[in-house]
């Protein structure tokens, strides 16, 4: 953290000071600066025995600095993000907590820092607007708060569902729930349980379907699209998600494995493919080929815009390895090649 702090309210230079009329050296109680990233509220300072005159003296001397009204950094120098997070929570008052994108940042659900710090408070709380802070109001605020983590923040499941509620579209909403499960920060069962506690939920049916797929091992929106738009829509056999194999001392995973037919499908949603990743994939594909397994690779364009052709290719490879099933058309505009392998389902 920029600057320095003593860890004790009564010390301006890192050591206990003698009681003086304008210094807070007479405070008998100690306050740990590390506990709140060096941030203290006026109410806390007064509770430790300081007076308004003592606080003013610290500010005038430059030992402290004001972050928000009644919220201070008990050090000089540039406050780091952790200090601003604590300042936002302290300014918002009791029962407030970091939420939405800010809670996602702290939970590792995203690596992006939002422009505003997001704070949720109980509905009806008389909180005035705070500079740089996006306030949210919830009837379930107290139940949504994580019981032990500090600074206070929403539970992972509540964070994910908050982000779903504010997502601009369904695809972004599905991405939040699938990536949260894939990162193992929560589970599909926990998200379903948290969702059941909310009376209002956007895209409830679609989210429930995606969470069911997450329980099967679907880790991304692209994998979700392949499962529903390619595999299920065209009658391909059910694949195994996140199929694991051992290479020496290492474990490797394939997105989809059709185990009885020696066929793997890898799905890459990245718009760019770094050189080192490309060669890693080539080595993996070669190793699978040496084991007698065929690997097919698809991205967003193929799965999203040409799902029928993808289904046809996968079916052709499966047949070479013994599959005797029949594809079905996904709808009237399905582009599966005519012939004995394609049977019309007459649906959409």
Q: Compute how many other C-beta atoms are within 10 angstroms of the C-beta atom of residue 82.
A: 15
Q: Is the link from the previous residue into 183 a cis peptide, with omega within 30 of 0?
A: no
What percent of the chain is helix, strand and coil (3-state, nearest 5)? 40, 15, 40
Beta strands in 203-298 (DSSP E): 240-247, 250-258, 263-267, 294-298
Q: What is the pLDDT of residues 106-127, one digit of tens each?
A: 999 999 999 999 999 999 999 9
348, pLDDT greater than 70: no
Start-to-end CA span in the chain (Å): 58
Least confident of 92-101, 115-124, 183-192, 333-342: 333-342
Cα of 307 vs its chain's centroid, Å: 28
20 SS3 class: strand
Mean of per-residue pLDDT scores for the chain: 86
pLDDT at 33: 64
Domain 221-343's class?
Answer: alpha beta
93 SS3 class: coil
295, pLDDT greater than 80: yes
215, pLDDT greater than 90: yes
Distance between CA atoms of 291 and 181, rounded to whole angstroms? 31
Task: Say if CB 57 and CB 31 are below 8 A apart.
Answer: no
Q: What percent of the chain has pLDDT over 70?
A: 84
274, pLDDT greater than 70: no
26, pLDDT greater than 70: no
pLDDT at 11: 42
Task: Say if CB 165 and CB 87 are below 8 A apart.
Answer: no
Q: ∠ CA(91), CA(97), CA(101), 5° rounding?
A: 110
Least confident of 31-45, 75-89, 189-203, 204-218: 31-45
Q: What is the pLDDT of residues 142-179, one digit of tens each?
A: 999 999 999 999 999 999 999 999 999 999 999 999 99
318, pLDDT greater than 50: yes
- Across 317-335, average pLDDT: 93
Least confident of 36-50, 217-231, 329-343: 329-343
pLDDT at 188: 96
- Across 85-114, average pLDDT: 96
Distance between CA atoms of 320 and 303, rounded to whole angstroms? 22
Within 13 Å and on the Cβ side, how many CA atoms surround 294?
16
Least confident of 2-11, 61-70, 244-253, 272-281: 2-11
DSSP 53-91: HHHHHHHHHTSSEEEETTEEESSSSPPPHHHHHHHHHHH
Residue 12's contacts (CB-CB under 8 Å, 6 or more residues apart) are 6, 23, 58, 61, 63
Could you identify the residue written with the tokens 């505009």? 333
- Across 24-40, average pLDDT: 64
pLDDT at 279: 62
**β-strand 250-258 against 39-41: which pairing, if any?**
unpaired
Strand order in the sheet with 240-247: 240-247, 250-258, 263-267, 294-298
184, pLDDT greater than 50: yes
pLDDT at 326: 92
225, pLDDT greater than 60: yes
pLDDT at 16: 35
Helical pair 170-182 and 204-216, crossing angle rounded to 10 deg? 30
Residue 247: band (very low, low, confident or very high) from pLDDT cuts 50, 70, 90:
confident
Q: Name the strand (E) or helix (H) holding 39.
A: strand 39-41
pLDDT at 24: 39
Q: Which candidate, 200, 90, 208, 99, places its Cα nearest to that of 143?
A: 99
Could you identify the residue written with the tokens 């956007």? 202
From-to residues of CATH 3.40.960.10 in the chain = 221-343
pLDDT at 27: 38
């Amino acid at each position: 953290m920029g600057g320095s702090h003593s860890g004790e309210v009564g010390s301006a230079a890192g050591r206990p000071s003698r009681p003086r009329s304008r210094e807070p050296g007479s405070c008998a109680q100690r306050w740990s600066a590390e506990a709140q990233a060096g941030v203290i509220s006026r109410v806390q300072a007064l509770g430790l025995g300081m007076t308004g005159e003592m606080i003013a003296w610290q500010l005038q001397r430059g030992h402290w600095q004001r972050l928000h009204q009644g919220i201070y950094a008990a050090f000089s120098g540039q406050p780091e993000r952790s200090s601003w997070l604590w300042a936002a929570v302290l300014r918002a008052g009791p029962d407030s907590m970091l939420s939405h994108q800010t809670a996602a940042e702290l939970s590792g659900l995203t690596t992006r820092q939002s422009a505003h710090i997001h704070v949720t408070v109980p509905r009806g709380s008389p909180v005035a607007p705070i500079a740089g802070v996006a306030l949210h109001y919830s009837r379930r605020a107290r139940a949504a708060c994580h019981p032990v983590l500090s600074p206070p923040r929403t539970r992972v499941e509540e964070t994910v569902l908050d982000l779903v509620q504010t997502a601009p579209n369904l695809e972004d909403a599905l991405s939040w729930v699938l990536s949260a499960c894939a990162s193992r920060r929560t589970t599909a069962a926990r998200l379903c349980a948290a969702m059941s506690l909310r009376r209002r939920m956007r895209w409830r049916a679609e989210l429930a379907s995606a969470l069911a797929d997450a329980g099967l091992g679907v880790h991304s929106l692209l994998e979700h699209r392949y499962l529903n738009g390619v595999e299920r829509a065209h009658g391909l056999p059910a694949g195994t998600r996140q199929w694991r194999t051992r290479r020496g001392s290492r474990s490797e995973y394939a997105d989809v494995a059709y185990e009885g037919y020696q066929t793997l499908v890898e799905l890459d949603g990245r718009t760019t493919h770094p050189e080192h990743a490309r060669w890693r994939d080539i080595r993996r594909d070669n190793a699978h080929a040496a084991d007698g397994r065929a690997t097919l690779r698809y991205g967003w364009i193929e799965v999203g815009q040409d799902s029928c052709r993808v289904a046809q290719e996968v079916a052709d490879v499966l047949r070479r390895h013994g599959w005797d099933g029949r594809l079905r058309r996904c709808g009237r505009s399905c582009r599966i090649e005519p012939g004995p392998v394609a049977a019309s389902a007459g649906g959409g």
